[in-house]
Copies of this chain bind each other. A is one copy, B any other.
Amino acid sequence: MAPKAKQHPKNYEVLAQELRSRIMSGEFPEGSQLPGERELVLQTGRSRSSVREALRVLESEGLLSKKTVGRYGGSIVQRTPDHTIRRQLDLFIRGRSISFEDLLHTRQAIEPMLAQLAAVNRTDEDLAEIRRRTIALEMAFPDQRHLITLLNLDWHIAVAAASHNELLNALMTGISGALKHASAIEDYGTDETCLGVIRAHRKILDAIEKGDATAARRRMERHLGAYEKELAEFSPPQLALS
């Protein structure tokens, strides 16, 4: 006798996978509109609840967005937007209670590459943006210490954007949320620390401006290395991430 391998595949999962395939296959290219929910009910023979739950899954995966309700509204196929991967990374980091050390190592892995790529791929607008962030941080220095953490992060995100590597950029912005939480704990060290950060940013900016990829990379490595050393001196190992 068969071992009862029924395993009841759930309707909404089957539907979700089917729609995913149809989208990936190109049947519904980016920007096109999916059939309405009632139409999908007719096509698939499932109930509207199941169809809706399947669509909800695809929406939360970032493959779909819901257009305006009302006549001719519907589900639009889209490229996975940045904020989807960003939220997933945030949930992952917070849910798994990733240690600050692991987070820092991840930064040390990707940010030097981002700086290197930024030196090569940056546009003039990118450069102007990084310069704005650099100045904003410098202006905040002695008087608005509480802003420094955020402005610092903004600067790093601007560099990531200038790399024009969508994947690395998404990863960087993804972990920046967790970084923000984690950094909020420590108030930004001494004046010396701040000045060191400002000087490092200025030097990296110079390298990116000149298109010197090697220097940009090396200086970013050093910048993050210094940051790590600072932390090692001042803070105890355990840093809860909210």
Q: Footprint of B on A, CB under 8 Å?
A: 12, 24, 49, 52-53, 56-57, 59-63, 79-80, 84-85, 87-89, 91-96, 98, 102-103, 105-106, 108-110, 112-114, 117, 165-168, 170-171, 175, 242
Interface contact B167-A92, CB-CB below 8 Å: yes
Interface contact A102-B167, CB-CB below 8 Å: yes
Most chain B CB inside 10 Å of its own CB: which residue of A12, A57, A61, A93: A61
How many subunits of this chain does the assembly comprise? Answer: 2
Interface contact B94-A24, CB-CB below 8 Å: yes
Q: With A12-B56, A84-B88 in contact, is A113–B105 under 8 Å at CB?
A: yes
Interface contact A117-B105, CB-CB below 8 Å: yes
Q: How far is the CA of A117 from the CA of B114 in the complex (A)?
A: 20
Q: How far is the CA of A60 from the CA of B59 in the complex (A)?
A: 10
Q: Which residues in B have their C-beta under 8 angstroms from that of A96?
A: 79-80, 166-167
Interface contact A80-B95, CB-CB below 8 Å: yes
Interface contact B80-A91, CB-CB below 8 Å: yes
Q: With A79-B95, A105-B113 in contact, is A60–B63 under 8 Å at CB?
A: no
Which of B49, B57, B112 has a CB less than 8 Å from the CB of A60? B57
List, sorted by A's number, 29 A–B pairs whose CB atoms are closer than 8 Å: A12-B56, A24-B242, A52-B53, A53-B53, A53-B56, A56-B57, A57-B59, A60-B60, A62-B91, A62-B95, A63-B91, A63-B95, A79-B95, A80-B88, A80-B92, A80-B95, A84-B92, A85-B89, A92-B170, A96-B167, A103-B167, A105-B117, A105-B165, A106-B165, A106-B171, A109-B112, A109-B113, A167-B175, A171-B171
Interface contact A166-B98, CB-CB below 8 Å: yes
